[in-house]
Structure 1
Amino acid sequence: MEFQWSAPQRAIASFRASLGRHLLWLAALAWSITPLQAADAPPIVIATASPAGVYHATGRTLCRLLDAPCVAQPSGGSAANLAALRAGEVTIALAQSDLQFQAVTGTGGFAEAGPDASLRSVMSLHGEPFTLVVRRDSGIDGFADLKGHAVNVGNPGSGQRGTMMTLLEAWGWTLDDFRPADELPADQQSLELCHGNIDAMVYTVGHPNPSVEQAVRLCNARLVDVTGPAVDRLVAETPYLARATIPAGLYGDDQPAVTTFGVRATLVASADTDPQAVHDIVAAVFNDLEAFKATHPAYADLTPERMIHDGLSAPLHEGAKRYYRERGWLPAETPSPDASEPATSTDPTQAPAADTATSG
């Protein structure tokens, strides 16, 4: 007997067939459009650092503010970020001001690579005190006491490692003065301190910081001062360094204020980075700066004046300059920098001469 569909059944079958054809058409359309869209608008990749630090939190905050595909990419730290930016592997990067200076002048850890004439500043961010955290039973009361101890100096490519090497040179020490010098990344060092595998760890970072807090909470570690004649000379002779204080009470009621020195976190790009993308990032921060500052305690002292000058050795990116001019923070007639010249001045609107560079 031949099966006969009712009118409602025929209508449902017809609808399903029509729906199937439309879904196939939409799938084909999506397949044909998506690659083109991806080619036209690749995601913004912001190189950060360890997930335990403020850099990664900053990258994630910037991505949330943008109305565009964006990825906050963990990395080995400032030096690794600057190398990736130079190689065209990332769109934007976070880097310490001392490492930015060395990259643009081809000094310090960037001597072999040479000056990066394509490096451009976007903005300055939070202060990053050089932080020394020690076991209470280590007998370490200051930087001078580190000799002969097991110290984590940071993984190669990290900002903390770069600042540590600068300080060691000023102090007249080398890594051989530690027994041993460990190279742990930032997200591992606090547990190694607690396990007794190292006596001290250094971290160039904004505060409060989860890794430092973990060391204090889990193994009763303490923060100590980093002072002395070598630090005095370093701060006096180096434009991107300044004295810094870690406020009392950040890591417990009994934690005193800590005297040290530090750098600033900076946001950088390549001269080849799309000016509109850079303009959008800057606008996302400054159009509601108070909302941005509320996302992390380390941003408390940010002001537009500091953010467009402090710690910026490379010339400003065209996209950033366009926004700053729109806000009246830079004169409209500011000349564009000569991209063929490396920068050494702290004036981000100019490209200074390379012969003023000093080793960082």
Structure 2
Amino acid sequence: MTTLTRLSVALLSFAAILVSVDPPASAAQEPKFFRIGTGGVNGTYYPIGSIIGNAISSPPGSRACEAGGSCGVPGLIGIVVSSNGSVANIEAMERGEIDSGFAQSDVIHAAYTGTGAFAGREPMTDLRVIASLYAEHMQLVVGAETDIATLADLAGQRVSLDEPGSGTLLLATGLLEAAGIGTGGVIAEYMKPGPAASLMARNELDAFFIVAGVPTNAVANLIRARQARIVPLDGPAVDALLERHEFLTRAPIPATVYGPDQKEIDTFGVTAQWVTTAGAPDDLVYAVCKALWNDATRTLLDGGHPGGKQVRLTSALIGVNVPLHAGAERCYADLEKADKK
């Protein structure tokens, strides 16, 4: 069983409860499922995806939105799937294992054009964007007691680059190569941020990379316990990487995100986007998009994971470099019309 088969039990339980208490006529409606590939539970994709999956769901038998019930898509159950991240989600969509997924903008473009991590493969020209969600920051997390102060100091250190199938691994590898270190210049480990953070807490790992929205739970917990700090990423290696890849931008981590005394930290990043395929029904994607941007979802995003506050309609098209899904395109046109009234 792969990680892509681990489903969100909470959403399924929620659906089961609602169906069990409703009148037979409502319960007779066949549910529709929309599977969302996210990431590891200690990152940002999974908690944000769980909020969105809940928000777009309105299982058969649910009370109407205006009656205090779900304001999602009638009859739809969003299923949140934990995965290895961006590359794994794109590949799972290609195999038909999930209906949609979160991925970094650079990974999406690489898959669409058959370049980068997808070089030598048939371009996935049927990829379509539902929304750009938030900025993702490259974070170099180092043990509090280490002497690592710059990227160059990673040479010879024990460093986790994240798991195969993650966008973090691709960017970390590129960054180390740009710095003249390469993966061979460090004692490389390949694990998710949760296990990496556990090793760091035991002084068994010197550093790890993670590309995620901030604050990232695994990082925040280490910093709160004074077991880690974040090293700024700037200088020639970053300049070279940004010049080589048009989808990377300077994206400083804002001050106070990881504590009241934390100053702004220089780094770079990409955007996290929610993608599907052109084969997803237009009406379904339209309804999912409208549910994503309704007032009830806004409340859930603002009151859930801190990164949810960054998911905004005003930035829903930022960094989108492959086509919008036709249903999403119609959704944004209607939202714009409604905003002008």
TM-score past 0.5 threshold? yes
- Report whether the alignment pairs 1:304 with 2:313: yes
Q: Which residue of 1 aligns with 2:55?
A: 65
Q: Which residue of 1 aligns with 2:104?
A: 96
Q: Which residue of 2 aligns with 1:25?
A: none
- The Cα of 1:218 is off from its aligned counterpart by 3.4
RMSD: 2.2
- The Cα of 1:230 is off from its aligned counterpart by 2.0
- The Cα of 1:106 is off from its aligned counterpart by 1.1
Q: Which residue of 2 aligns with 1:244?
A: 251
Q: Which residue of 1 aligns with 2:178?
A: 170
| Structure-to-structure mapping, 1:70-219, within 5 angstroms | 70-178=78-186, 180-218=187-225
CA contact (8 A) 1:98 1:240 kept: yes
> Per-residue displacement from partner, 1:27-68 (whole Å, max 9, x unpaired)?
xxx9xx97xx65xx5411100001112211121111211221
The one-letter amino acid of 1:314's match is V
CA contact (8 A) 2:130 2:285 kept: yes
CA contact (8 A) 1:285 1:292 kept: no
* Matched residues, number: 293
CA contact (8 A) 1:222 1:255 kept: no
> Per-residue displacement from partner, 1:75-116 (whole Å, max 9, x unpaired)?
011110000011111011000111111111111211132311
Please give the alpha-carbon distance, in whole angstroms, between the structure 2 residues aligned to 1:306 and 1:237. 24
- The Cα of 1:139 is off from its aligned counterpart by 0.8
The one-letter amino acid of 1:50's match is G
- Report whether the alignment pairs 1:45 with 2:35: yes
CA contact (8 A) 1:98 1:263 kept: yes
Q: Which residue of 2 aligns with 1:282?
A: 289
- The Cα of 1:302 is off from its aligned counterpart by 4.5
Instruction: Select the structure of larger CA radius of gyration.
Output: 1
- The Cα of 1:203 is off from its aligned counterpart by 0.7
| Structure-to-structure mapping, 1:280-359, within 5 angstroms | 280-288=287-295, 290-291=298-299, 293-294=301-302, 295-308=304-317, 310-328=318-336
Aligned residues with identical type, % of pairs: 33
Please give the alpha-carbon distance, in whole angstroms, between the structure 2 residues aligned to 1:188 and 1:114. 34
Q: Which residue of 2 aligns with 1:55?
A: 45
Q: Which residue of 2 aligns with 1:3?
A: none
- List gaps (5 residues or longer) in structure 2: 1-23, 59-75
Please give the alpha-carbon distance, in whole angstroms, between the structure 2 residues aligned to 1:172 and 1:292. 44
- The Cα of 1:301 is off from its aligned counterpart by 4.5
- Report whether the alignment pairs 1:258 with 2:265: yes
The one-letter amino acid of 2:46's match is H
The one-letter amino acid of 1:229's match is P
Please give the alpha-carbon distance, in whole angstroms, between the structure 2 residues aligned to 1:143 and 1:86. 35
Please give the alpha-carbon distance, in whole angstroms, between the structure 2 residues aligned to 1:114 and 1:173. 31
CA contact (8 A) 2:48 2:307 kept: no
- List gaps (5 residues or longer) in structure 1: 1-29, 330-360
Moved more, 283-292 or 75-84: 283-292
Per the alignment, do residues 150 and 235 of structure 1 end up closer, same or farther by CA in structure 2, a change over 3 Å counting? same
Give the secondary structure class of the aligned counterpart of 2:269. strand
